[in-house]
Structure 1
Amino acid sequence: MSSYLSAFQGSTALITGASSGIGKAYAQKLASLGIHLILTARSEQKLKELAHELQKKYPIRVEVIGLDLAHQHAAQKLFDEVQARQLSVEILINNAGFGKWSQFLDQSAATYNEMIMLNINSVTSLCYLFLPQMLTSKKGIMINIASTAAFQPLPYIAVYGASKSYVLHLTEALAGEYAASGIKFLAVCPGNTETNFTQVANADTRGMKSSSVDEVVSATLKALDQNKASIIVGCNNYLTAQLPRVLSRQKMIDVVERILRTRIVKAS
């Protein structure tokens, strides 16, 4: 058991994008540690099935809130619903997000607006809304899922990569700003992970090493124990993320463009 998380047994965690993938894995792990859950995602039925499974297995409470955080004002609606149910959130995991692999103009402006709303705006809003309560109690954890995409510009994945750079920098900045507050901020940066992200993104990841969702969760718990503000999941991903420190920015852009050019599907 994470030595840091042991102090949160009996507390409540809010997890976005909890119906599958990394979000679901966080829910399963925290439930096993005796942490109550608030699960949110677009698929309310999947959330209800997960809630039933976890409550049957562990002595915890699980609340379900079906919501699409890619919509304007959805973060405020989520916060208001949590307050209406008289729930207190001690752990916030901003996991919901999506990307697209394509030439920039092959996606609609609406798609990019939704991506920015989900990957950036909702993360910022939920941190802003739930932080005051944590500051009052001088106890809390905010985990934001960034990506190895955060460490360099990504031709053909431009908006997604930029959004994850924002998440990484926001989280690390808040970790510095509130270092003496009793609140931990952690940006988790996975690379390719065994989830349905690649299907949604239309990403060609053949031949690329993937981490399991359990590896992402384990790295998160270890980083909390080590009081880190960010963690890159996987040794290979860590080494790759260091390349921008070695290569010039232009060289890095050229290298990534050549690698990804053959991995996108052009619009017909």
Structure 2
Amino acid sequence: METALITGASSGIGAAFARELARRHYHLILVARSQEQLNTLAQELRNQYPIQVEVIVQDLGQPQAATQVYQTVKDRGLTVDLLINNAGCGDYGPFARRSRTRQLEMIHLNIAALVELTHCILPEMQQRRSGSIINVASIAGFQPLPYMSVYAASKAFVLSFSEALWAENLDFNLRIQALCPGPTQSKFFQQSGFPQTMNNNQKITMIPPEQVVQDSLRGLEKNQPVVVTGTFKTHIIVNLPRFFPRSVWVNFMGKMFKSEE
């Protein structure tokens, strides 16, 4: 049986990955900050499936935390066959008015921790010539987003980084994927500080995290370097910017994302 390591596993897309992979009889290594939520999920999955579930409580927003996770994995004698870098955070509002600490923490979690953990585990996969990595980006990575400037830029990094690794590792028989979900049913909008009027926007269709996971794993089986999940409208949003001057499109997005509150 293969083993999957999932960061940000306590809720949302991470927990959905855990449940689906448990159903497919993967052993699991669940990583997140919330010990109570992780333990509850781990026990649920142990009770339902004949798998081993390891819990590592770690705040990946802290320096060297990803390396500590990797060292814990090695200390427990575990091998990672599927790495899912799902942990991340967002922040809404004009850049100059938002917390500088929050912006830097977001860069560290969304980019540095992802790169750090990937760099720890990828060489072992190359030596075995087997393994897969899913890096959770976002449709925000396809264009600049005023009022979510750092978040969108961080996801653009994840998208570019993952595509490059996909090409680098074809000869190693490895599969690398940038997963780019559209709006998904989770606590992301509340935790990112979106105004209530935008958070409750009925025009935005939220898809369940279970659908994101199914689309991702289907794409992984086909070795697709980028998987965009969501409605037809989501796919239009991803592809439409190429038909407009960048200044026109970014200005349009700024008007869309500007709060009236």
| Residue identity matched to 1:227 | N
Correspondence for 2:185 among 167, 175, 194: 194
Residues 176 and 223 in structure 2, CA contact (< 8 A), matched pair in contact too: no
Aligned match of 2:69: 78
Aligned match of 2:13: 22
- Give runs of aligned pairs for residues 111-190 of structure 1, distance below 5 A: 111-190=102-181
Q: Which runs of 4+ in 1 moved over 4 A?
A: none
Correspondence for 1:253 among 239, 250, 255: 250
Q: Give the superposition deviation at 1:106.
A: 2.2
| Residue identity matched to 1:249 | R
Correspondence for 1:216 among 199, 212, 230: 212
User: Would you say 1:35 and 2:26 are equivalent positions?
Assistant: yes
- Determine the C-alpha separation between the residues in 1 that align with 2:108 and 2:180: 19
**What value does the CA root-mean-square deviation take over the aligned residues?**
1.0
Superimposed CA distance per residue, residues 190-248 of structure 1 (whole angstroms, 9 cap, x where no aligned partner):
11110011110122231211111011011101111222000110222111101111111
TM-score normalised by the chain length of structure 2:
0.96
- Determine the C-alpha separation between the residues in 2 that align with 1:251 and 1:180: 40
Q: Secondary structure of the equivalent of 2:133? A: strand
Q: Secondary structure of the equivalent of 1:255? A: helix
Q: Secondary structure of the equivalent of 1:180? A: helix
Structure 1: state its 5+ residue gaps. 1-9
Of 202-211 and 226-235, deviating more is 202-211
Structure 2: state its 5+ residue gaps. none
Q: Give the superposition deviation at 1:45.
A: 1.1
TM-score normalised by the chain length of structure 1:
0.93
Aligned match of 1:47: 38
- Determine the C-alpha separation between the residues in 2 that align with 1:46 and 1:129: 26
Percent identical residues: 40
- Determine the C-alpha separation between the residues in 2 that align with 1:179 and 1:227: 10
Superimposed CA distance per residue, residues 117-173 of structure 1 (whole angstroms, 9 cap, x where no aligned partner):
100001101111001111111110100000000011110000000000000000000
| Residue identity matched to 2:106 | M
